Amino acid sequence: MKARLAISLAGASLWHRRKVLALVCLTLTLSVTLLLGIQYLRTEVKQSFTSTISDTDLIIGARSGQLNLLLYTVFHIGDATNNIRWSTFQELEQDTRIDWLIPISLGDSYKGFRVVGTSKDFGEHFRVGRGQPLNLTDGQWFDGVFDVVLGAGVARTLNHRIGDEIILSHGGGRTSFSNHKDTPFTVTGTLEATGTPVDQAVYISLQGMEAMHVGWESGVAIPGRTLTPEQAEGRDFSPSAITAVFAGLDHKILTFRVQRELNQYAGEPLSAILPGVALSELWRLMSQFERALLGITGFVVITSLIGLVAVLLTLQTQRAHEIAILRATGASPGLIASLYLIECLGLAVVACVTSLGLSAFAISMLGPWLLTNYGVQIQLRPLNIEEWALLISVPLAAVLVALAPALSAWRHSRYQGFGSPGEA
């Protein structure tokens, strides 16, 4: 009965002071929204991070560290230390334990986007997310030597359509001074957005990669030795080297054995890595940063809780009369103190519920926009345990900080006399 009285009094008191408290509640709401948002992004980023590559059992490249190999093959960051011979790739094709192989050849760029030379196996076997295949929104995979397929991000940013002719650049970088002017490529297809680095690259055949580099053996185009598309017709452009290979095995159980054999390959020094292991190592590095971010957001919430308590303490002086009345009518100091606790808890709960709604609204509004404009995939989903824990910790922290005004109210109201406190 006393609890019900306390709750109804606290509710009425909050409503009475709603104008002042709305502002502190808003501050708290925004900081809790920030906290939820950061935590949500953390899990989503982790999710989209781990979904950059799927179903690939091994990535094989020239001898290097596993992070380096992962970064340049999957994330298109950094460069390969060396190439691997085409003969090595052909030998791998003979291995009966290997189900499929995707050769990739890197090194060129198109307006800052990586050019990936590969085979049709890329479209067939490469998977992202939870085994989601790459689909074309438009057109078809490259067929001719000078055909190019654009990642969703490239097509969107540069506004290319099927049939456009594009000139690829030699080497990386956004502005390149040496362009493959003589060998323009024709857009034959664009990929669906995946929210992975796949969106940020253009795809040509290995033959196309070879063809445009004829006459570039010294690193720059030697006039008269480069090919025109007409000259290229009918010629064989078997590559002599590629950058890396994605491999899928028939039996996952053989993964470690094949990996070890490849790492000890006699023909040339190779590195074979497990993408999942490399990804989690990379994530461990990144998670330091995002944990720091979460920590900062936590402090933002604590700051606004302290602001809330500061306001409650300020209001306490205005409430002297009310406390005197309640005490004189027979309310115990405990009841007075509980008013502060309940009010602070109530505000925190209101802030949490509002910020849940706000976050859900923001995510459902921004989700599609983020995907089309930034290739970041965020969708509404139920909160996980960690997020619930984070959310529930806010009212708990509120009760904890409300102990300050509650204790001071309890102490003062014990010696509350008639009239104003202290002048009884």
Residues that bind other proteins (CB under 8 A): 1-2, 5, 9, 12-13, 15-17, 321-322, 324-333, 414-419, 423-424
What's the closest the beta carbon of residue 418 comes to other proteins, in angstroms?
A: 4
Question: In terms of CB distance, is 10 or 115 closer to other proteins?
Answer: 10
Question: In terms of CB distance, is 128 or 406 closer to other proteins?
Answer: 406
Question: In terms of CB distance, is 17 or 46 closer to other proteins?
Answer: 17
What's the closest the beta carbon of residue 306 comes to other proteins, in angstroms?
A: 25
Nearest-angstrom CA–CA distance, 125 and 138:
19
Question: In terms of CB distance, is 5 or 166 closer to other proteins?
Answer: 5
Question: In terms of CB distance, is 330 or 382 closer to other proteins?
Answer: 330
Question: In terms of CB distance, is 21 or 152 closer to other proteins?
Answer: 21
Question: Parallel, antiparallel, or unpaired: how do β-strands 201-205 and 244-249 relate?
Answer: unpaired
Question: In terms of CB distance, is 39 or 338 closer to other proteins?
Answer: 338
What's the closest the beta carbon of residue 11 comes to other proteins, in angstroms?
A: 9
Lookup: tokens for 256: 């470690």
What's the closest the beta carbon of residue 319 comes to other proteins, in angstroms?
A: 9
Nearest-angstrom CA–CA distance, 422 and 419:
9
Question: In terms of CB distance, is 392 or 424 closer to other proteins?
Answer: 424
Beta bridge partners of 148: 187, 204
What's the closest the beta carbon of residue 399 comes to other proteins, in angstroms?
A: 22
What's the closest the beta carbon of residue 412 comes to other proteins, in angstroms?
A: 12
What's the closest the beta carbon of residue 12 comes to other proteins, in angstroms?
A: 4
What's the closest the beta carbon of residue 409 comes to other proteins, in angstroms?
A: 15
Cβ atoms of 166 and 180 closer than 8 Å? no
Cβ atoms of 186 and 208 closer than 8 Å? no
Beta bridge partners of 150: 190, 202
Per the listing, tokens 């998977």 go with: 127
The phi and psi torsions of 246 (rounded to 5 degrees) equal -95, 135
Question: In terms of CB distance, is 234 or 330 closer to other proteins?
Answer: 330
- 3-state SS record for the chain: CHHHHHHHHHHHHHHHCHHHHHHHHHHHHHHHHHHHHHHHHHHHHHHHHHCCCECCCEEEEECCCHHHHHHHHHHCCCCCCCCEEHHHHHHHHHCCCEEEEEEEEEEEEECCEEEEEECCHHHHHCEECCCEECCEEEECCCCCCCEEEECHHHHHHHCCCCCCEECCECCCCCCCCCECCCCCEEEEEEECCCCCHHHHEEEEEHHHHHHHCCCCCCCCCCCCCCCCHHHHCCCCCCCCEECEEEEEECCHHHHHHHHHHHHCCCCCCEEEECHHHHHHHHHHHHHHHHHHHHHHHHHHHHHHHHHHHHHHHHHHHHCHHHHHHHHHCCCCHHHHHHHHHHHHHHHHHHHHHHHHHHHHHHHHHHHHHHHHHHCCCCCCCCCCHHHHHHHHHHHHHHHHHHHHHHHHHHHHHHCCCCCCCCCC
Question: In terms of CB distance, is 4 or 284 closer to other proteins?
Answer: 4
What's the closest the beta carbon of residue 24 comes to other proteins, in angstroms?
A: 17
What's the closest the beta carbon of residue 22 comes to other proteins, in angstroms?
A: 15
Lookup: tokens for 9: 């009094």
What's the closest the beta carbon of residue 416 comes to other proteins, in angstroms?
A: 6
Question: In terms of CB distance, is 132 or 408 closer to other proteins?
Answer: 408
